Homo-oligomer: A and B are copies of this chain.
Amino acid sequence: MTDDIRLCRTFQTAPAAVPKDDSAKYLVSALTAEGFQAPDWLVPDMEDGTAPNMKAEGLENTIENVPEHDFPGEIWPRVEWSYEDAEYREKGRAQIDRLVAEIGDEIDGVVVPKVGRLEDVRRAAEAVAEAEAEHGYDDGSIGLSIIVETGRARSDLREIAQFGEDSRLTGLVFGPVDYTAELGGRDLGDGRPRWDGLLEAMSNEASAAGLVSIGGPFDDLFKERAGLTYYNADEYADQVEHEARLGLDGSWSLYPKQTIQANTIHMPTPDELERDVSKIERFNEAKREGTGAVTLDGQMVDEATFKNFVNTVEQVCAIHEMRSGQTEEYYDDELLERTLELELSYE
Residue positions of A touching B, CB distance < 8 A: 1, 15, 17-19, 48-54, 149-152, 154-155, 158, 161-162, 175, 177-178, 180-189, 192-193, 195-198, 200-201, 203-205, 207-209, 217, 219-224, 229, 232, 241, 244-247, 249, 254, 268-269, 271-272, 287, 289-293, 295, 297-305, 307-308, 310-312, 315, 346-347
Determine whether the beta carbon of B54 is less than 8 Å from that of A290.
yes
Of B1, B18, B291, B302, the contact of A48 (CB 8 Å cutoff): B302
Determine whether the beta carbon of B205 is less than 8 Å from that of A245.
no
The residue in chain B whose Cβ has the minimal distance to the Cβ of A203 is B183
List, in ascending order, chain B residues with CB within 8 A of A223's CB: 298
Q: With A175-B304, A289-B19, A290-B53 known to touch, is A204 a contact of B48 (CB < 8 Å)?
A: no
Q: With A54-B292, A151-B207 known to touch, is A298 a contact of B249 (CB < 8 Å)?
A: no
Of B158, B186, B201, the contact of A247 (CB 8 Å cutoff): B186
Determine whether the beta carbon of B52 is less than 8 Å from that of A347.
yes
A-B contact pairs, 16 of them (CB 8 A): A1-B181, A48-B293, A48-B303, A49-B302, A50-B292, A51-B290, A155-B158, A181-B307, A183-B207, A186-B247, A186-B272, A187-B308, A188-B272, A221-B300, A222-B299, A232-B298
Of B52, B219, B311, the contact of A305 (CB 8 Å cutoff): B219
The answer for the CA separation of A122 and B63 in the assembled complex, in Å, is 51
List, in ascending order, chain B residues with CB within 8 A of A269's CB: 188
- Work out how many copies of this chain go into the complex: 3
Q: How far does the Cβ of A266 sit from chain B's closest Cβ, in whole Å? A: 9
Determine whether the beta carbon of B305 is less than 8 Å from that of A177.
yes
List, in ascending order, chain B residues with CB within 8 A of A151's CB: 204-205, 207-209
List, in ascending order, chain B residues with CB within 8 A of A207's CB: 151, 182-184
Determine whether the beta carbon of B208 is less than 8 Å from that of A154.
yes
Determine whether the beta carbon of A299 is less than 8 Å from that of B220.
yes
Determine whether the beta carbon of B305 is less than 8 Å from that of A245.
no
The residue in chain B whose Cβ has the minimal distance to the Cβ of A303 is B48
Q: With A51-B291, A51-B292, A293-B15 known to touch, is A308 a contact of B221 (CB < 8 Å)?
A: no
List, in ascending order, chain B residues with CB within 8 A of A178's CB: 304, 307
The answer for the CA separation of A280 and B224 in the assembled complex, in Å, is 20
Determine whether the beta carbon of A181 is less than 8 Å from that of B304.
yes
Q: How far does the Cβ of A344 sit from chain B's closest Cβ, in whole Å? A: 13
Q: With A49-B293, A298-B232 known to touch, is A155 a contact of B208 (CB < 8 Å)?
A: yes
Q: With A181-B308, A184-B1 known to touch, is A204 a contact of B155 (CB < 8 Å)?
A: yes
Top 7 A-B residue pairs of the complex, sorted by shortest distance between their CB atoms: A1-B184, A151-B208, A183-B247, A222-B298, A181-B307, A51-B292, A177-B304
